[in-house]
Amino acid sequence: MSKYAWIIDKDHLDAPEDSSVGICGPRGAKQTLLDMLEDGKGEQFELFDDDDILYYTGRIIGIYDGFEPLDDFGMPNAGCTAIKLNGAFV
């Protein structure tokens, strides 16, 4: 099982019917961590493309390096190339 979990809180590009809001990861995330995210806990992250366009805002919790939402979701889903954690690029 994963020692971290993340959730997408805001999809800055897609229409509501195509929104990624509420997507959680990774697949092996512990339910206790997911429950904490549902309760509003976690550190904020933002995912950007190589033109510095903001795609997603979310939160991460647990033991992590900071690149996990980018590697797990942002890059494979939308081609994101950068992540800010608590307002600073990682």
- How many domains, in total, are found in the chain? 1
Measured distance CA(90)–CA(86) in Å, rounded: 9
What is the residue range of 75's domain? 4-89
Peptide bond into 76 cis (omega under 30): no
Q: Which residues are CB-contacts of 39 (< 8 A; sequence separation ≥ 6)?
A: none
Burial class (CB in 10 A: 0-12, 13-18, 19+), 87: exposed
pTM of the model: 0.94
pLDDT tens, N- to C-terminus, the chain (90 residues): 899 999 999 999 977 788 999 999 999 899 999 999 999 999 999 999 999 999 999 999 999 999 999 999 999 999 999 999 999 999
